[in-house]
Copies of this chain bind each other. A is one copy, B any other.
Amino acid sequence: MDVTILAVGTELLFGQTVNTNASYLSKQLNDRGFNVMYHHVVGDNPNRLKRLLIHSLEDTDLVILTGGLGPTQDDLTKETVAEVFGRELLFDEECYRLLVEHFEQRGRKMAENNKKQAYIPEGATVFHNDAGTAPAFAIEADGKCAICLPGPPREVYWLFDHGVSDYLKRFHEKEMVYKVIRTIGIGESDLEMVLMPLIDGQVDPTIATYAKEGECTLRVASQRDTREEAEEAVDAMIREIDKLIGEYIYSYEDTPLNEVVVHLLQKYSLNLTSAESATGGAFAKSVTDVPGASEIFTHGFVTYSAEAKEEILDVPEDIISKLGVVSKEVALTMAAGALERAGADIAVAVTGCAGPTADPGREPGEAYIAWMTGGRLPSTSSCIHIETKRNERRWNRNYFCLRMLSSVYRVILNVEKEGLLPIQG
């Protein structure tokens, strides 16, 4: 089935917002066997929207609209779609009740203009929106369908998972199954080279590689008549992939590295702590982003200055003055100090330079990452040296965090392999 994705919003035409909804929806739709033919963006102007919508419904059978469902005067998507499909807007009691509830729960007064959001085109299928105030809906006529979603990406993702995805099943011809494998420690070109014998000439399942910041993911997809057949084909291919690059894979289910690490720590009831200089709290954040992290992470130290490293983590002053703040010894003593202070089983520490500039003799992107075990684990420690050769602060900080996570991941795998810990529960 051919699809158009039509975004409504002047802020997109001003260039203030990037149309990430279009790429998100395209990915989801392609995964389900739809052909996305066009993306369009139009401003908050009902005449131009109407013309573009009519064109799009002529060109393709399904049009997914995003934006313009808000409470304000310039939000006119719903009115325009209703007009094009020749439907009235009707007051929907259930939508209104949920709107009122939404505001009550937040202890806020509902503005008068929010009431507009409870009107829905006659005969439309409503998708209630727990992530915001605007309900989404689908409307069908003469083999054509329009689905209207709000603009904020968070709401689009929520609604897609809670209603829209199921609704789309009526249009599927084949069943599509895909799995996303995450790797770390191998570049995209190398990954592609190693997997070439599997990728070359492969029609189904397909294998696609994507480089993300500092890591690579693989997407294995199959479209078959039944879900079972597609799943079997994907799993068989993953077994082949595993033979070639198993050592680099940390998730077979598209789970981010911070979640994988937190779940492993939970599984073994291990306590982690961190001592951060260059990442300035970003590592602790990435760990505590995972719900339930409090079970395995109790203390985090952000020691951004040399004095903080000495005062809080007992890094000896002479090590810093002799070897410099960005050194293996400082990273190791930071880890030791944090391990001791927090009474943890594993400590990870980073000292380095995130950029964009660096102290004389140093380069942005350089860092030492040390880890140390103790507590319930045998005492071990190690340190790696990283040079990203980049000066983008955000990129470097993110990459340092990933390498800290992957260090912790390897530590736990080793412990697991050597049978040093009993599995809990």
Contacts and interface: CB of A to CB of B under 8 A. Distances in A.
Interface of A: 7, 10-20, 22-30, 36-43, 48, 52, 55, 71-72, 105-108, 111, 113-114, 131, 152, 154, 180, 187-190, 192-193, 208-211, 213, 219, 274, 276, 279-285, 287-289, 291, 293-294, 297-305, 307-308, 311-312, 341-342, 355-357, 387-390, 392-395, 397
Given A13-B36, A17-B210, 16 more contacts: A11-B208, A12-B23, A13-B30, A13-B37, A15-B29, A16-B180, A16-B210, A19-B19, A106-B389, A274-B302, A276-B281, A281-B283, A298-B307, A299-B302, A299-B305, A299-B311
B26 A15 contact: yes
Contact of A14 (B27, B106, B111, B285): B27
B389 A107 contact: yes
Q: Which 8 A-B pairs have the closest CB atoms?
A: A280-B288, A281-B284, A300-B302, A15-B26, A15-B27, A298-B305, A39-B41, A281-B281
Nearest to A280: B288
30 contacts: A11-B208, A11-B219, A12-B22, A12-B26, A12-B39, A15-B28, A15-B36, A18-B18, A37-B42, A38-B40, A38-B48, A38-B52, A39-B39, A39-B40, A40-B41, A72-B188, A72-B192, A106-B389, A107-B387, A131-B392, A274-B302, A279-B285, A282-B288, A284-B302, A294-B305, A299-B302, A299-B304, A299-B311, A300-B304, A308-B342
A111 B15 contact: no
A393 B289 contact: yes
Contacts of A38: 13, 40-42, 48, 52
Q: Determine which residue in A14, A281, A291, A298 has the highest number of CB atoms from chain B within 10 A of its CB, and name it.
A: A281
Contacts of A276: 281, 284
A10 B206 CA distance: 12
A10 B281 contact: no
Contact of A304 (B43, B154, B208, B297): B297
A294 B393 CA distance: 13
A213 B342 CA distance: 34
Contacts of A283: 281
Contact of A280 (B20, B24, B208, B285): B285
Contacts of A22: 12, 15, 18-19, 41
B11 A210 contact: yes
Q: Specify how many copies of this chain sit in the oligomer.
A: 2
Contacts of A19: 18-19, 22-23, 39
B111 A189 contact: yes
B281 A288 contact: yes
A189 B71 contact: yes
Nearest to A40: B40
Contacts of A48: 37-38
Q: Determine which residue in A20, A23, A219, A282 has the highest number of CB atoms from chain B within 10 A of its CB, and name it.
A: A23
A289 B40 contact: no
B394 A289 contact: yes
